[in-house]
Every structure is written in structure tokens, then in C-alpha cells.
Structure 1
Amino acid sequence: MRNRPDWEYTLHIPHDPRAVGICRRALRDILTTHGLPALLDPAELLASELLGNAIRHTAGPASLKIRQSGPSFRLGAWDSDPTPPTINPHPDPTESGRGLHLIDAYADDWGWFAVNGSYGKYVWCELGTTSKPD
């Protein structure tokens, strides 16, 4: 694996569902620019779920953070609701509630933390930048 320099981008978005697509396109450009084409599809899926949850479950703005640090690639979404994310144990396949299941299935790791007490939360997930065996 070649040594990659660390980098980070933060995209601040309004409470507007159209912003999710805008962030996906920006993410695609960022990953292409940094030579990470293998992450395009999984990162777009995960970013869509993270931001979709932020827009769907809050009334305020949100942010998407995209970071490469060593062999780890991290996506994170901040939103203004401090309520912890929960995985629906029995999601309806025809309705919402599947986002965290997708994140849990596709990401190498994920979690969340409260931001400044009651000023929202940050939900993150990581993908390795090296190939994983099938």
C-alpha cells in the first residue's frame, strides 16, 4: 500500500433533502481526486444513509465530514438532535428504518457521540482503504 497523506473535508448543508445528492457528487469528486475509486460506491451509500438520517430525523442543518487518515477512511454526519441513533431490530423492508442496518453491514466500524452535551450528535463510519478478502 502506498503512503497516503491525511486529509479532511467538511460539507455544511441546510435542512434540505436535495443536499444529500449534492454531497454524494462532491464525495465522488473528492474520492476520485484522492485516488480512491474502490470506495466510490460504498462511500456514496454510507454518506446517503448518514445524511438521509440527519435530514429525516432533525429540523436543523447538518454536516458531512470526509476524512482519510492512514489506512482508514471515515465518513461522519453531524446533526442538531442529540438523540442517540438506534438500530430498528425489525425494519420494514418497504419503509424507513434500514439505514443503520446498511451502515452496520457495509462499514468496517461505526459509532456515534454527543456533541457539546445537547448540541447534537456525530454519527461516523469507517471503511478501510485497502482491499479486504472476500
Structure 2
Amino acid sequence: MKTALCRRTLRLILTMHGLIRLTDTAELLATELVANSVRHRKGPAALRVRWSDGVLRIGAWGTDPEPPEPPGRWEQLTEAEEGRGMALVRACADLWGRQPHAREGSRGKYVWCDLVAI
């Protein structure tokens, strides 16, 4: 439910700003980031979208301070229980990363990815 709401909201925002060409990939990345935050959370999660100088940054904040599992090799992910979502982010985004982050008195992390509009 939360990921569906994120996808619809993101599609609306990108359409309104003339960035419809980024929508499919942006929806996939936002879904993976939010799903990861919700799955590992101990409290609230949030999605953030920012457009600046031809770069769309999509980020998800969650209260779990542990870093996401680093994506393994594609061959290893077919049987893996975890890591496929971040592997998709790594494969589809131009750049991605994470940083510790505090929000509303809770410690957590902010995981983000960039899509460069060509």
C-alpha cells in the first residue's frame, strides 16, 4: 500500500514537471527504497524527491540505522533472500549511496539514488 502511494505520487509530480521520461525508472527505484525502509523500520519512513541541475534524486529515510546490504553479483542474487532490491537500485541508478540521518529525534539512515536526465 505505501509503495503504491509513493509510485502514484511520484508519477504525478514528475508528470506535472515535464519529467515523464524518468517515471518508469523513478517508480522502480522509489519502490525499492521505500520497501527497504518499511521492511527494516522500527518507526516511520519517508520518501524525498529532489530535482536539481538535471538530476532527479530519490531518497528514503527510515529509522533502522543499519546500512543496507551491499548488492552482490547478479548470479548470486537469483537465490538470495535479500539484496535484490538494492541490486536493482545499483543497476538502474546513475549513482546511489547512504548516510546516517536523524529525523524527529530518531536515528536512522537516508538511502538515495540519482537519475540523470539526458
TM-score (norm 1): 0.78
Cα offset, 1:104, TM superposition: 0.4
Cα offset, 1:92, TM superposition: 3.7
The answer to whether the aligner puts 1:98 opposite 2:75 as a matched pair is no
Residue correspondence of structure 1 range 50-69 to structure 2 within 5 A: 50-69=33-52
Structure 1 or 2: larger helix share? 2
109, 115, 119: which one aligns with 2:101: 115
Cα offset, 1:20, TM superposition: 1.0
Cα offset, 1:59, TM superposition: 2.7
The answer to whether the aligner puts 1:127 opposite 2:110 as a matched pair is no
The answer to whether the aligner puts 1:32 opposite 2:20 as a matched pair is no
Paired residue total: 112
> What corresponds to 2:32 in structure 1?
49
Q: Which runs of 5+ in 1 are unaligned?
A: 1-17
Deviations 1:71-105 (A, max 9, x none): 11100000001101122423244744301100000
Q: Distance in 2 between matches of 1:123 and 1:105?
A: 15
Q: Distance in 2 between matches of 1:40 and 1:88?
A: 23
Q: Kindly indicate whether the alpha-carbon contact (under 8 Å) linking 2:71 and 2:90 is maintained by their aligned counterparts in 1.
A: no
Q: Which runs of 5+ in 2 are unaligned?
A: none
Work out the percentage of aligned pairs sharing the same amino acid: 49
TM-score (norm 2): 0.88
Runs of 4+ displaced beyond 3 Å: 92-96
When Rg is computed on C-alpha atoms for both structures, the one with the higher figure is 1
Q: Kindly indicate whether the alpha-carbon contact (under 8 Å) linking 2:69 and 2:83 is maintained by their aligned counterparts in 1.
A: no
